[in-house]
Structure 1
Amino acid sequence: MLDIGYSLSRRFPDPPQTDYRHADVHALRHDLFCGDVYIADTKADREVSTAWGWVPVLDFAWALCDIVERLDRDPRGSRSAGPQYAELDFTESADRMLFERRFGWVDVEADWMPAEEPPLTFNHAALRREARDFLHDLIADLTDMHDGLADNPAIWTLQSRFPRLP
């Protein structure tokens, strides 16, 4: 079972004067909605998570959806034996979350994981579906909390670029 989640930080609140309706993509991806994120294998009771409090959670969701699509560029799809790699780097540090796809499976690990700990492994289709669900659920939560965010054209574009999957 795959679970992707977040928590918003109280230490790094959004500036109170923020106009969410007109916030640009840079602000949405890098300056707002800071907290922590995790990707968990609930069956194995293991996760890759941050504990810094400053990770832009919308950027994480956006980047994760991009990465899952990037891992699917090989025309052979799940039949491809050659590994496909992607990484998610965190803006304010040198830490990275690493993704490797071989056949229909994606290994997820991070620089900060102990070397002897094996990566989390997920079915690519399940990771794609969960990443998109996470993005849409996060946007729903954020638009409930922040007036005007639902009217931001960048949010509309993001939602249309990565629609929920059946």
Structure 2
Amino acid sequence: MIDLGYSLSPRFPDPPQTDYRTADAYALRHDLFCGDVYLADTKVDREVSTAWGWVPVFDFAWALCDIVEQLDRDPRGSRSAQPVHAELDFTESSDRMLFERRFGWVDVTADWVPLEEPPLTFNHAALRREARDFLHDVIADLTDMHEGLADNPVVWDVQARFPRV
């Protein structure tokens, strides 16, 4: 079972003068909604998580959806034995979350996880579904908190690009 979550940081609040209705993609992905994120496998009770307080949560949700799609570019899909790699870079550091798909399974680890710890392994279709649900849940939470964000064309675009499965 996959569990994706986040918490917003009180140490890095959004600027009070922000007009969420007109914020561009760069601001939405890099400057706003900072906090921490986690990706957990509840069956084995392990997770890959950040504890920095500055991770752009909306960007993480959006990038995770992009990565899951990137891992699905092989036309053989879940029949492919050829590994497909992707990584999620955290812009304020050199840390990366690493993804490898083989057949229908995705291994997830990170630079900061000890080498002896095995990766988290998820079914690709389940990871796609959970990543998109997470993105829509994050957007719903953020639009409840920030007036005008629901009217932002960038938010409309990302919701249309990654509909719930």
TM-score, length-scaled by structure 2: 1.00
Distance apart, 1:28 and its partner CA: 0.2
Q: Which amino acid aligns with 1:114?
A: P
Distance apart, 1:163 and its partner CA: 0.1
Residue pairs, 1:155-166, within 5 angstroms: 155-165=155-165
Q: Which amino acid aligns with 1:7?
A: S
Q: Secondary structure at the match of 2:135?
A: helix
* Aligned-partner Cα distance in 1 for 2:60–2:155: 14
Q: Which amino acid aligns with 2:45?
A: D
Residue pairs, 1:149-160, within 5 angstroms: 149-160=149-160
Deviation per residue, 1:135-162 (Å, 9 max, x gap): 0000000000000000000000000000
* Aligned-partner Cα distance in 2 for 1:138–1:13: 16
2:115 is matched with 115
* Aligned-partner Cα distance in 1 for 2:164–2:62: 13
Q: Which amino acid aligns with 1:105?
A: W
Distance apart, 1:103 and its partner CA: 0.1
Give ranges in structure 1 of 5+ residues lacking alignment. Answer: none
* Aligned-partner Cα distance in 2 for 1:73–1:159: 21
Q: Which amino acid aligns with 2:79?
A: R
Q: Secondary structure at the match of 1:160?
A: helix
2:47 is matched with 47
Q: Which amino acid aligns with 1:80?
A: S
2:10 is matched with 10
* Aligned-partner Cα distance in 1 for 2:161–2:32: 21
1:103 is matched with 103
Does residue 131 (structure 1) correspond to residue 125 (structure 2)? The answer is no
2:60 is matched with 60
1:76 is matched with 76
Q: Secondary structure at the match of 1:137?
A: helix
2:88 is matched with 88
Q: RMSD in angstroms over aligned alpha carbons?
A: 0.2
* Aligned-partner Cα distance in 2 for 1:120–1:59: 21
Q: Which amino acid aligns with 1:30?
A: H
Deviation per residue, 1:44-86 (Å, 9 max, x gap): 1000000000000000000000000000000000000000000
TM-score, length-scaled by structure 1: 0.99
* Aligned-partner Cα distance in 1 for 2:43–2:102: 21
User: Percent identity, aligned pairs only?
Assistant: 85
